[in-house]
Structures are given as C-alpha cells and as structure tokens.
C-alpha cells in the first residue's frame, strides 16, 4: 500500500514538473500584505518582519521585530519620494521615545515602494518540492557575474482566485539566495525568507500614515546611503542592489587604513564585511539598550575575532588571598565612580592580532595601584615584558594567559619594568630582556575580590583602583559594541566560560541599569573610545566572577612620631593633596584617622584604603 502511495505522489510531482516548465512565471498581486522571517545564516540572524505593499498607490511599509522599527517607502510623497523610519530612541532625559526620521529621494535616487517578494522575471520552473510541509513549485534563476554564480530560488504554491473563476494566484512559501565565488571556491553569501502568512486583500490607507502629530526629522545624505537603516530589505530582494555595501566598504578601508595583498583577499574581506554589516544593523533594529557600530574589526572572521580573546582558564587555584574588607552597605559607597577622572588610567591600547588581553588587564590594575602608591603619578608599565617573560609561570604570550600567573612572575622578580624602560608593545612574542630594565611596582601578593558581589567589587574599585576582571566576550554583539549599556542574554558567567581579560575602572547607573565601566584593549576605534558599559544585572558576562587586585609593598600612609600637632597637620595636607580623589566626602575623618599607639606620645596619621570605617578597629595597618 505504501509503495502505491509513493508511486502516486512521485507521478504527480513528475507531471507537475513537466507542466510547470511551460508555465509563464507568475506575477505577484499588486496589493498584498505578508508576514515572515528573514534568515541570514552567516550572520547568525533571524529577523521577523511584517510588510504591506500597494503598487497602485506607490507605497510600502515594512515593520521589523514586531513593529519595534517601522520603515515606510512612499513614492507619492514629494517629487522623488520619501523614506521614513520610526524607532524608539533613549536619551538621558527620555526612555524609548518614538522618533520619526526622514530621508528624501533625489533625481539620481528615487524612493520606490519596496516589495518583499522578488520579481520572477527570468525565473524558470524546475520542478516541484516539499518545503515546510507543503508541496510547492520551485522556480529558479542563475546569474553569473564575473567569478560569482548567484542562484535565486522561489518556492510557491497556488490558490484559487475567488474573483476570477478558473484562475489561480501565487502564494509565496520561501525565497533563497546562494552565492558561490568560483575564484574563492566557497559560498560568499546565503540568506532566505520564510513566508508565514500572505493576503491580497486591500490595505487600509492608514497603514501608510505616520501617527498624527509626530514630526519627522530630516536625515542628511542621499537615500542610497541609508539603505541599512531606512530600507534594509532592499538588499535581499531580487533585483538587489549592492552600491551601499561598496560605499560602506570604501569608507571603512579609508578610515582604518586597510590594504589587502591582492584582489582575492579584498573580495574575501568584503564578503565578511557584508555579513558583519548586516549583523550590526539588524541588532540595532532590536533596540537592545545599546548600539553596535562598524569598527576596525568589521572585516574579520569569527575565527580571527576569537584570537583576540586570550584568557586561558587553567582550572587551578590562583593563589589569591581572601578579600580583606568588611561588608559595607551599598548606600555608603559613591553612587558612581570613574578612575579616569582622577588620572589613574593610561590611554587605551590596541593588542593587535595578539591574544594578550590578560597582560592588559593585569598591567592596568597594577598601573592604577601604583598611581595610588606613587603620589598620584601615573606611569606606563610594560605589557610586553609579561608577554615575553612570564612563560615559566604558565602564560603563553600572544596565545593567551591569566592575570594571576603574571602576578606570580612579578612577585618573584620584584616588579615590572616601565614601558619607557623595557620598550614599546609589539603585538608579538618577543625576546625577554628584563636584565636590562629597572623593575618597579613591587607586589607582595594578590587578592580575590568576593565573587559575584556587586558591593565588594564597587568597594574594591573605589578603595584600590582599577581591577582586573575576566568576561565572556565571545559574542558578535561585543565585537561591534559602540555605546549604551551592554547586556547580552546569551553571555555566560562561570569561571571556566570567561575568555577575555579587561579592566574595571569604575561603575555607575543609567536609566536604572547598573553598569561597570570597562576598559578594553582593542584600540579606541572599538566601543565608546575603547570602553564599554557592561550591565551588572545577573552578573552578565561574568564581570563579578573572578576580579583580582594586587598588594603593593608600600601603603599610602605616613607617620609622624612624638608630635600630635605635626600628625594633625599631615592629615590636613594629605586631605588637600594626595587624596583629593575622595573629595566627595565632606569630613576628613571619613578616610583618615589619627591613632594613638601604645606610646602615648607616638601618633600615626593613616591614609587608609579601607576608608569606609570610622572606628579605628576597622582600619588596616599591614601594608594595605
């Protein structure tokens, strides 16, 4: 029985295949609405859309992500048409305010209604196929452009037309594009649209109208330069356009001084750039609370980006001491803090194509601590020395490492050379030459800040300076972060899941969202001038999982013996000088104390790192 059924189905498919070869390519209804999902496998994207198209009135509208972003293509508005985009915008004073932006067409580039169904002119029916559980006709067109072979495929079915007896109209099921570059021997592009619902009923004119009273601000520049923001679907529907990709890629090359060895290499890079560009703009349409942007990494593959994340977790105890501070209520800490303001942070560097992030996190923390122990003089210390010289403690130079192994090396050798003394950062494994350098910033050990504690990490940052932290940076959203508070639901926070080392230099709150101010080592072209605001919610990406700070040999304290007046004078001088960073406290006693020792005439004025405690029994005097 089963064999008979299979034979019947096969026969029907064969008949349809024979018949459809002679069928003229169908033309879509001039008025339709359709719901579906755009899939871009290479960019790892699934973007839901809802579209309305009215050819007669020369209007279209496409909504993305459930209407969060609405785009309008209105040929009947103005001499050359108008594109509108409505999206939520968040500023310091407004949260998710609906804003309308406008781009007008020009004589060279008119705004036309945008179909989400390809023109089937030039397509040929090649048979039948079951797609998404439906028996469909398969229409295909193959184009060869230079070394590129582009294959466009449309799967559709037919439905009886109630208005026209014995007539049928086409219903879209799936549309796919696969691009193969014979020169590269690989697929350079692949995307497809799955259509879930389709209607040819008349569309209410209100669909194409912007809410009354909503002003639309002009957006500068020609329309074809804003395809990604005002009409992203234009890139995916045949006949497609690539002029915007060419424009963005040229701009990218000029800005970042990109040069490629040959045409093959440039073609590869442009294809990677295309996918990353799609990803960036698709994520931005989701309005996650942060934005992505094109940076110097936009032509790099995922494998190349992975090489920048050089934290190698070994699974062994790192030898750090227990966090020494007593618990402090969060309300007693500053609401926001930023060590950059006080000069404790060196400029952002670029680790280049070297997985040396661990050295940047380590050195950044030591630089900040040394700043506090060195009369507020900021000294650049050498990442290159750690890359070259700490192999014996388990670090692997440009192939990864861990901060505590760098601390171990510093502890044994008595510090770290300055950058001026050792030489500049190379972005490569180099020859160790510390014998010719003077070591400074000698440490006595390191401390593990209480894992998972927001208050403990805040306390450590304020009291001890910038802190070395590890994060999960293995997400494309992080690679192209531009601004806003970064929260990635897919981020992991277990210690063995963190692959990148960075520096926590402060914290704060924006629109009710707590964040950590993180310094990265991917140049100031990345992020917000090299920094990222990372959400503290749910220990996202693991900032609070394994923070460490180092103990330097000398504390920031001074003693004056046998004269109480001199001790009081010193307290006042220190309050006005060295520790102006804590100027938000109005009372000196909040961060200084004068303690009388066993000798009644011996007074010690202590500038204490644990300045939150006024009671002398809470102050530390062991070199902290």
Catalytic residues: 357, 500, 520
Q: How far apart are CA 185 and CA 261, in angstroms?
A: 18
State the Rg of the chain over Cα.
Answer: 31
Annotate 134-152 with DSSP letters as a single string: EEEEEEEEEEEETTEEEEE
Q: Which residue has the tokens 């560009």?
A: 277
Partner residues linked to 130 by β-bridges = 135
Can you point out the beta strands (E) in 26-123? Answer: 31-40, 45-54, 59-64, 69-74, 82-89, 97-104
> Residue 491: which residues within 8 A CB-CB, separation 6 or more?
471, 472, 475, 540, 541, 542
Q: Is 184 helix (H, G, I), strand (E, B) or coil?
A: coil
Rounded Cα gap, residues 509 and 476, in angstroms = 24
Separation of alpha carbons 582 and 569, rounded Å: 18
DSSP codes, 364-404: HHHHHHHHHHTTT----B-HHHHHHH-GGGT--GGG-B-HH
Give which of 542, 534, 464 is closest to 497, Cα–Cα. 542
**Main-chain phi, psi angles of 367, to 5 degrees:** -60, -45
Q: C-alpha distances in angstroms, 591 versus 324, 476, 549, 611?
A: 17, 43, 20, 4
Could you tell me where the DSSP H helices lie in 204-294?
A: 227-230, 243-256, 263-285
Pair 364, 466: CB distance under 8 Å: yes
Alpha-carbon gap, residue 211 to 215, rounded angstroms:
9
């Amino acid at each position: 029985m089963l064999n008979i059924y299979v034979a019947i189905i096969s026969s029907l498919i064969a008949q349809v295949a024979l018949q459809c070869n002679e069928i003229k390519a169908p033309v879509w209804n001039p008025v339709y609405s359709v719901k579906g999902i755009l899939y871009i496998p290479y960019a790892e994207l699934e973007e839901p859309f809802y579209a309305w198209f009215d050819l007669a009135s020369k209007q279209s509208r496409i909504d993305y992500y459930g209407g969060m972003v609405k785009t309008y293509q209105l040929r009947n508005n103005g001499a050359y048409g108008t594109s509108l985009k409505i999206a939520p915008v968040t500023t310091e004073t407004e949260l998710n305010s609906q804003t309308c932006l406008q781009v007008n067409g020009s004589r060279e580039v008119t705004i036309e209604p945008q179909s989400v169904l390809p023109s089937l002119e030039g397509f040929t029916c090649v048979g039948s196929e079951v797609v998404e559980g439906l028996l469909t006709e398969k229409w295909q067109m193959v184009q060869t452009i230079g070394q590129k072979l582009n294959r466009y495929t449309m799967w559709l079915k037919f439905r009886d037309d109630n208005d026209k007896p014995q007539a049928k109209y086409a219903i879209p099921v799936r549309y796919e594009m696969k691009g193969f570059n014979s020169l590269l021997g690989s697929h350079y592009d692949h995307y497809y649209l799955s259509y879930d619902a389709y209607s040819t009923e008349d569309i209410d004119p209100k669909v194409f109208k912007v809410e009354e009273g909503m002003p639309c601000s002009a957006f500068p520049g020609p329309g074809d330069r804003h395809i990604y923001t005002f009409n992203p679907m234009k890139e995916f529907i045949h006949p497609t356009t690539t002029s915007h990709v060419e424009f963005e890629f040229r701009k990218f090359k000029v800005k970042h001084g990109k040069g490629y060895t040959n045409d093959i290499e440039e073609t590869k890079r442009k294809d990677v750039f295309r996918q990353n560009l799609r990803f960036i703009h698709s994520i931005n349409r989701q309005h996650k609370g942060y934005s992505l942007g094109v940076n110097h990494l936009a032509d790099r593959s995922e494998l190349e980006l992975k090489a920048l994340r050089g934290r190698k977790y070994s699974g062994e105890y790192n030898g750090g001491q227990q966090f020494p501070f007593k618990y402090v209520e969060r309300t007693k800490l500053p609401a926001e803090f930023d060590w950059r303001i006080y000069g404790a942070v060196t400029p952002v560097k670029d680790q280049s194509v070297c997985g040396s992030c661990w050295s940047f996190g380590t050195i950044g923390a030591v630089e900040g601590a040394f700043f506090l122990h060195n009369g507020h003089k900021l000294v650049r210390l050498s990442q290159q020395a750690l890359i070259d010289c700490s192999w014996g403690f388990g670090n692997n130079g440009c192939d990864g490492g861990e901060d505590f192994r760098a601390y171990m090396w510093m502890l044994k050798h008595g510090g770290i050379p300055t950058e001026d003394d050792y030489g500049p950062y190379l972005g490569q494994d180099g020859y160790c030459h510390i014998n010719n350098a003077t070591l400074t910033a000698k440490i006595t050990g390191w401390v593990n800040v209480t894992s998972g504690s927001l208050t403990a990490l805040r306390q450590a940052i304020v009291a001890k300076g910038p802190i070395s932290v590890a994060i999960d940076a293995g997400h494309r959203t992080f690679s192209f972060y531009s601004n806003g508070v970064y929260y990635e639901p897919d981020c992991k926070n277990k210690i063995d899941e963190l692959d990148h080392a960075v520096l926590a230099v402060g914290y704060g709150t924006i629109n009710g969202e707590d964040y950590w101010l993180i310094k990265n080592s991917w140049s100031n072209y990345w992020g917000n001038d090299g920094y990222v605001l990372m959400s503290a919610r749910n220990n996202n990406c693991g900032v609070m999982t394994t923070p460490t700070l180092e103990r330097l040999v000398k504390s920031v304290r001074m003693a004056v013996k046998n004269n109480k007046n001199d001790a009081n004078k010193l307290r006042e001088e220190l309050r006005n000088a060295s520790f102006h960073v804590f100027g938000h406290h109005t009372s000196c006693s909040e961060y200084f104390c004068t303690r009388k020792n066993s000798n009644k005439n011996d007074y010690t004025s202590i500038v204490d790192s644990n300045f939150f405690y006024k009671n002398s029994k809470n102050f530390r005097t062991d070199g902290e």
